[in-house]
Each structure stands twice: as structure tokens, then as C-alpha cells.
Amino acid sequence: MDAIIIETIIKAIIVLSVIAALAGFGTFIERKVLAFMQRRLGPMHVGPFGLLQLAADGIKLFTKEDIIPQHANRLIFMIAPIITAATAFIALAAVPLLPEFTLFGYTVHPIVADLNVGILFILGAMASGLYGPLLAGMAQANKWGIIGSARTAILFMSYEVVTGLSLLAPIMLVGSLSLIDFNNAQSGGIGEWMVWQQPLAFILFLIAGFAETNRTPFDLLEHEAEVVSGYATEYSGMRWGMFFIGEYANMITIGFMASLIFFGGFNDLGFIPGFLAIILKVSFFFFLMLWVRASWPHVRPDQLMWLCWKVLMPIALLNVLITGLVMMV
Amino acid sequence: MEQIAFYIFSVLTIGLFLVTVLSSNVLYAMTSLAAGMVIISGLFFLVGADFLGVVQLVVYVGAIMALYSFGMMFFDATKDIKEKNTNSYLVFALGGMIAVMFVVIFSAPVIGENIQATYFVTGATNPQAVGLILFTKYLIPFEVAAIMLLVAMIAGIILAGKKMDDSLTTRDENHEEDTTFGLKDEK
Amino acid sequence: MGLEKFKDRNVGIQQYKVVEHEAFPKSNAQKFARVMKRMVKGELFVGLWVTLRTMYQALFQDDMHTVKYPFEKLPISPRYRAIHEMLRLLESGHYRCIGCGLCEKICISDCIKIDTKYDENQRKEVTEYTINFGRCIFCGYCAEVCPELAIVHGGRYETSSQQRASFSIFEDMLTPIDALSSQKEYPGFGAVSPNADDNIKKTPLAY
């Protein structure tokens, strides 16, 4: 009993520190990739290839003054960024990050909490992540913040439906809600990947994932051209930084989910060992998010709702229905 | 261990819901209600009902509370609300009566059957057990609830959709230019 | 070159491409057809391909457009009017200025101060010559009026300063005597730029 608790605590600390560092590193990668796609160099001067820009930004964020507006609700204003960051990491608790490996004769399962309802737990934790932007916007007594949080509520509630329905069809095929079962169901190489059976579900999940992580075609929450910075208008320093750590951690989570559910997870891929395979897959999805941000314009809020309720949700329902019929026959 | 966790969770839940009731600030009430919902899902996890806990998280925290807060957005959330108590004795009496009524309603079956898990499902995981019970023993209540939700949805659409024909955002059909770019879908 | 080429003033259709766009769909069926067409046609992937190609070109084909400014500088036009330079005579190395004072007279912002005296050969000698760059508006009149091409505009354009008045004296602006061989003749700020022929375009007037 005690061993499990200690092991879980150690795993939680490792996941927290590694993913937080990776989330910070993600901002650097994003700036670099976007710069290359616009024929720029990106950050270059702090350290080799600008690698230490990350540390410089961190120091800047930590030492910045933590401004709380005069008419804001102090308590809620202060806890809102923590909700975003915390739920992002709580969601990661149910994700199997790497294949099992043996360290000093002790078999390590790189998953913090092996729930048998892992997928639902991740969705639920990410759904409660909406309270971060929502409360932040409502507490700061700023009209841009209010608009940003209204958009948060609408966007998250709508696209959760699509995420859930799109994942329902693969769940029906595998017959489990555990991500490890999903991974084991696709252990037979590329031919058994879920994406070949459920291409539509994958596309829907990807679109909804972009919306849930607040990435570009759908990043209306803090759309600079319309609402100054949305829910983050009044934030500064580390509280502002926490929103972004949460956002990037969510991007990593969505990358892991897409890899595990649709792309064979951490099974060995030919000559590539499993742990490398999943890192490559997640890196690809992370790159895809940056790539899309460099390429495509935003949608309008009404187009966003149109896309969700009139296009994606009916398609997702049809997909579930057809999958069910095929399974019955 | 589990008892300690149970007491912590119950005290937290009651405390947070008390804040919800007693606070005159919309933002505090909303936040504590949402946090209470999260902690209730913690109670479910504690007794091993993972599926119900997660559903509590997804449905109550993710959807219903978000809808509430969306409604709250039309108020100035940073200000306190001035309550108008015309007759505090009447409110007290009515509230107390309702509370007593609820206690009687919920405790009657408990006392009657001495709360026993009547329908045991063995050899099935958590979601499967819920599904089995839901679609065998409790099929009729389940379907009735579904029909009620459907009725509510249709009513909502009718109430909200009365004025959908004259939209505020898109232009008149007759004056629509032929060369409009973009994704106009609604009239 | 014949005259008719210049008489063809209709610039609107020469190099411009008219973008065709389809009519706005009226009925629901048309709208649905458009949505389906856009979905299948893969217009979004064209955008993705463009950015990926740009990234490839920037990284591997040396098509990076960033100029790391303090370390790299783009060449400026010879007609650019930056900080003044005083030129020397190429044969003797003596400074060209004859102390006529025209630049001081014509300066519209009163920033040039010149003082002269007769030397032993009864030639004018410049004893004091300063330009206040805090006042100078770089209009170029001094260089234009100079009969000897002695004061010209050079290429030093990074002129930020911590003080409002920033004086420059004659010796600072004068070409160093050991750099005399590399002194370039200034074509004057009204001169045509070296690539002027390439830049000539027709005036887009319809009449």
C-alpha cells in the first residue's frame, strides 16, 4: 500500500516537472517553427540557436509584477490560472506516457493512475479546465475578459460533445475505456491502427482537439484582433504564464490521446522501439498544431458554432450509428 | 485511510455548498458550487465507482455548471448582490419545511429497505455494470428520463427559435450581393 | 523605342490577373454542394503545403529573409542623405572646402557654423566648422549648393544620440588622409540611382 503511494507520488512529480518543462520548451519550438514558415529566424541571440530564450522568458515571467486590477475579485482572479494549469496536469495523470520498462529490477508503469475509465477521465479533467479561462474572464472586471470567458464557455461546451461522440465509435470497437487496452488492441503493426477503421472519427477528434486546446483555427478565446487578449487581458507575470503552461500541456495531452487511440500508441513500429515511436507521434501532432497555426486563418464565432452543431456533431452521430450497425451485423 | 478521505471530502462538500448558499457574490457562489461538484466526484472515486465519478465530472462540472456560469455572465460578477428579504420568518419557515420534506422523501426508502445493493453484477467492469443495470432493471425509468429530456429540448428549441427567421446578424436576402465571400449559412 | 508603347496607358489589364470567384449559393442544395466541394477539394491542404514548402526553402535552400541588423546591414542608395562628409582633393590631399560660406547661408535650419581666416598664402582657411545634427533636417541643400563638391552626404545613418544637440566638427567629417585613395566621388543627391533603368515603370494613369 505504502509502496504504491510513494511510487505514485514520485511518478506524479516526474510527470509534472517533465511536462511543465516540455510545455515551456513548446513555446520555444512554436516560435521557431512559425518563424521558419515565415522565412524568419526566430529567437537567435540567447544561447545557441536561441535555446536559452526559454530560461530568459521564465526569469522575465517570474520577476514581473503580479498586477491585480482594482475592481477585480481578488481570490477568484488569483486561483483561475491555477485551475487551468492544474486540470491540464490532472488530465495527464490517466495517460500512459511510455511503454513499461524495468529500472533497477523494478517494473515501472509510466502512468500515474491506471483508471479503467481513462479516456472519460481525461475528457472530464480537460472539461473542468474550462473554469480557468471562464473564472479569469469573469473576475477581472474587464469587458474583453467577459467576452473571452463567454467564448470559452460556448467553445468548450460545444466541442466536448464532438470529442465525446467521435471517441465513442473507437470505444465501441475496442470495448474498453482504458487507454492501455486501446494500445494493446493495436499491437499488430501499422495495419491494425484504429485510424484505418475510423478515419472519420480521427478527423473529428483532431478538429475538436484543436478547439479544446484553444489552437489556431478556433482560438477565439484570446483572439488579439477582436478581443484584446480575451480572458488573459488583465493578467501579467507568472499567472499569465500558467495559462500558457496549461495550454501547452493540453496540447501534449491531445497529442498523446491521438497517438494512443488512433495511431498505435507505444507499440514497436518496425525497427523503431515503442518509447521512441510514441515520442515521434506526439511530436508530429505537436508540429501539426504549429503548422496549422502558420497556415490557416481563424474562423468567426458564428462559423465555429455552425461547424460544431451543424457539421461535426451530425457526422459524429452518423459515424457512431454506422459503427454500431456494422458491429451488429 | 478511506474513512479519513471520506470525512475530508464530506466536510469540504458541505462547506463549499454552504458558501454557495450563503455568499452574496455570484462569482463565489458559482466557483464553490463547481468545486463542490468536483469533490462529489471524488466521493464516487472513493467508493470505487470510477465511471459514475467521471460522469459526474463530465456532466455536472463540464456541462451543467458551465451553462449556469454562462447565464451568470449577464450579471456583473464582481459586485455583491443586494438581497431583498421581505419576510425572513416566512422564508425560514418555507425553507425549513422543504428541507424536512426532502429528508423524509429520501430517508423513507432507506429506512424501508435498510439500503441494500439489490442488483449485484459480478464479473463486469464498472461501466459495464452500470450499463447492465441501466438497460435491464431500470430500463423504464431510463427511457422516461430520456423522453423528458427530449421534451425539454424540443420546448427549448421552440422557445428560442421563435424569432430565428429575422436574424440580427445576416443581411436581407433580397439585398444579398452575388459576390459575397465567406461562409454564410443562416438567413 | 516607339512612341506607341508610351501611349498605351491602359495598365489595368497588363499584368494583373482577375480572380474568379463563384456566385454566392442561393438555395440550401447549392450551399450543401459548396460545402461538399470544399471538403473534397482539399483547399486547406494547399495552405499547409505552402507553409511547409516555405519552411523547407528557408531552412535548406538559404531563403531566409531575416537581416540580423546590427551585425548585417543592407546597402543603402547612393542618393540617401545621411551624415555629412567632407572630401579632400585627390591630388594634393588638401581639403576641398574653400570657405565660401554658402552652406552656412543656405542652411534652413541654421545648424552649420563656419569661421574662416586668410592664411599666409592669402587663401581662405577653415578655422571652425561645425554641424549641429540635433538641428539638421538632412535636406541636402548644403551639398547641393557647394561649388566644390566639398560637403556631401555619406552613408552613416545610425545617428541616435542621448543629447538633443550633437555637434560634429570639421576634422571628424573630413576623409582621413590615409583613406584618401578609397574616397569615392559623390554623384550628388539628385543623381539617378545605379539601377534606375530597372526601376522605370509606366505611370498608371488612364489618360
Whichever domain contains C132, its CATH number is: 3.30.70.3270
Asked if B34's CB is within 8 angstroms of A131's CB, the reply is: yes
Q: Which residues of A touch B81 (CB under 8 A)?
A: none
Percent share of chain C, pLDDT over 70: 86
pLDDT tens profile C154-195: 878 888 888 877 888 888 888 888 888 888 777 666 667 777
| pLDDT value of residue B132 | 82
Q: Which residues of A touch C69 (CB under 8 A)?
A: none
Q: How many CB atoms lie within 10 A of CB B170?
A: 13
Q: What is the DSSP string of A46-93?
A: SSGGGTTHHHHHHHHHHHS-----TTS-HHHHHHHHHHHHHHHHHHHT
C95 and C176 part of one domain: yes
C45 and C107 part of one domain: no
Q: What CA–CA distance (Å, rounded) separates A43 from A50?
A: 5
Which of A29, A41, A69 minimizes the C-alpha distance to A282? A29
For the residues C63-91, what does the mean pLDDT come to? Answer: 84
User: Is residue C138 situated within a structural domain?
Assistant: yes
User: Is residue C153 situated within a structural domain?
Assistant: yes
Can you say how many angstroms the Cα of residue C132 is from the centroid of all Cα atoms in its chain?
Answer: 23
| pLDDT value of residue C8 | 61
Q: What CA–CA distance (Å, rounded) separates A318 from A310?
A: 12
Residues of chain A with pLDDT under 50: none
C89 and C178 part of one domain: yes
C57 and C111 part of one domain: no
User: Is residue C202 situated within a structural domain?
Assistant: no
pLDDT tens profile A165-216: 998 888 888 888 888 888 888 887 777 788 888 888 999 999 999 988 888 8
ipTM of predicted assembly, 2 dp: 0.80
Which residues does C contribute to its contact with B (CB < 8 Å)?
A: 21, 23-24, 31
Residue window 120-179, chain B: list those with CB within 8 Å of chain C: 176-179
B27 part of contact set with chain A, CB < 8 Å: yes
| pLDDT value of residue A245 | 87
Q: In which residue are the cell numbers 439585398 written?
A: B175
Residues of chain B with pLDDT under 70: 75-79, 81, 83, 85, 110, 112-125, 163-187
C58 and C88 part of one domain: no
Q: In which residue are the cell numbers 569615392 written?
A: C184
C178 and C88 part of one domain: yes
User: Is residue C101 situated within a structural domain?
Assistant: yes
Element containing residue A106 per DSSP (H, E): strand A106-108
B187 part of contact set with chain C, CB < 8 Å: no
Q: Which residues of B touch A131 (CB under 8 A)?
A: 31, 34, 61, 69
Q: What is the DSSP string of chain C?
A: --SHHHH---GGGTS--PPP-PPPP-SHHHHHHHHHHHHHHTHHHHHHHHHHHHHHHHHHSS------TTT------TT---SEEE-B-TTT--B------HHHHH-TT--EEEEEEE-TTS-EEEEEEEEETTT-----HHHHH-TTS-EEE-S------SSS--EEEHHHHBPPGGGGGGPPPP--TTSPPTTHHHH--------
Asked if C23's CB is within 8 angstroms of B179's CB, the reply is: yes
C66 part of contact set with chain A, CB < 8 Å: yes
Residue C10: band (very low, low, confident or very high) from pLDDT cuts 50, 70, 90? low
pLDDT tens profile C82-124: 888 888 888 888 888 888 899 999 999 999 999 999 988 888 8
Q: What is the pTM of this model?
A: 0.79
Which of A111, A286, A105 minimizes the C-alpha distance to A183? A111
Q: CA-nearest residue of chain A to C53?
A: A37
Q: CA-nearest residue of chain B to C38?
A: B183
Element containing residue A101 per DSSP (H, E): strand A101-103
Strand partners, C130: C113, C169
Q: Show which subunits contact B, needing at least 3 CB pairs below 8 angstroms.
A: A, C
Question: Is the torsion defined by CA of A23, A27, A30, A36 positive or negative?
Answer: negative
Percent share of chain C, pLDDT over 90: 9
Q: CA-nearest residue of chain B to C34?
A: B183
Structurally, chain C folds into a number of domains equal to: 2
| pLDDT value of residue A284 | 92
The residues near B129 (Cβ < 8 Å, ≥ 6 apart) are B121
Asked if C54's CB is within 8 angstroms of A37's CB, the reply is: yes
Min Cα distance A28 → chain B (Å) is: 31
Q: Which domain holds residue C126?
A: 84-182
Min Cα distance C2 → chain B (Å) is: 41
Taking the CA atoms of residue B28, residue A123, residue C42 and residue A219 in that order, the dihedral angle to the nearest 10 degrees is 20
The partner residue sitting opposite A40, judged by closest CB among C35, C52, C66, is C66
C173 and C139 part of one domain: yes
Taking the CA atoms of residue C116, residue C117, residue C120 and residue C121 in that order, the dihedral angle to the nearest 10 degrees is 60
C125 and C42 part of one domain: no
User: Is residue C12 situated within a structural domain?
Assistant: no
Mutation test of the interface with chain C: which of B173, B175, B185, B186, choosing the one with the most C Cβ atoms within 10 A?
Answer: B185
C36 and C112 part of one domain: no
As a whole number of Å, the end-to-end CA separation of chain C is 20
Q: In which residue are the cell numbers 482539399 written?
A: C42
Q: CA-nearest residue of chain A to C71?
A: A45
C115 and C177 part of one domain: yes
| pLDDT value of residue B77 | 64
| pLDDT value of residue A318 | 92
Distance of CA B161 to CAs A300, B95, B164, B165, Å? Answer: 22, 36, 5, 8
Q: What CA–CA distance (Å, rounded) separates C185 from A103?
A: 76
